[in-house]
């Protein structure tokens, strides 16, 4: 009987963990970074505005991940697993954002070199 209760508590905790970490919406990058070597000033300005919006949305997503994890009690047995999942989502988002920022910065360098 004790093991059945433990199983139900584990399932309930996992369900709560998934629910707690699922409210954050991953932003999509709907920007075509222009070829800086061929882009016009208007192309670069439009892309810059769009990239700033994407960057802000990604920062909001990262903050949301932190906020969601903060809502979970560290006393739960599955907290380390939840934190690991949260950290992997966070790290992956930072990696994608860094790649896009590098692409954008290269486009800016290419534009300035025209």
By C-alpha distance, which of 104, 107, 69 is closest to 85? Answer: 69
Report d(CA 49, CA 67) in Å as an integer.
27
Residue 52: which of 90, 113, 97, 84 has the closest Cα? 97
Res 114: pLDDT:
93
Averaged over 30-45, what is the pLDDT?
95
Domain boundaries along the sequence of the chain? 2-112
Bigger pLDDT: 107 or 9?
107
Cα 110 from Cα 21, distance rounded (Å): 40
The model's pTM is 0.76
Q: What is the pLDDT of residue 8?
A: 47
Which has the closest alpha carbon to 22: 84, 92, 85, 97? 85
What pLDDT was estimated at residue 23? 85
Reported in sequence order, the residue ranges of 1-114 that DSSP labels E, i.e. its strands, are none
Query: What percentage of the chain has pLDDT greater than the value 90?
Result: 78
């Amino acid at each position: 009987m004790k093991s059945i209760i433990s199983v139900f508590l584990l399932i309930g905790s996992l369900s709560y963990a998934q629910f707690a970490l699922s409210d954050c919406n991953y932003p999509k990058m709907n920007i075509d970074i222009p070829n800086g070597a061929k882009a016009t000033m208007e192309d670069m300005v439009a892309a810059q505005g769009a990239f700033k919006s994407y960057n802000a949305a990604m920062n909001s997503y990262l903050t949301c991940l932190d906020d969601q994890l903060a809502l979970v009690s560290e006393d739960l047995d599955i907290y380390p697993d939840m934190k690991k999942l949260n950290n992997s989502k966070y790290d992956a988002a930072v990696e994608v954002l860094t790649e896009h920022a590098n692409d954008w910065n290269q486009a800016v360098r290419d534009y300035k070199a025209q």
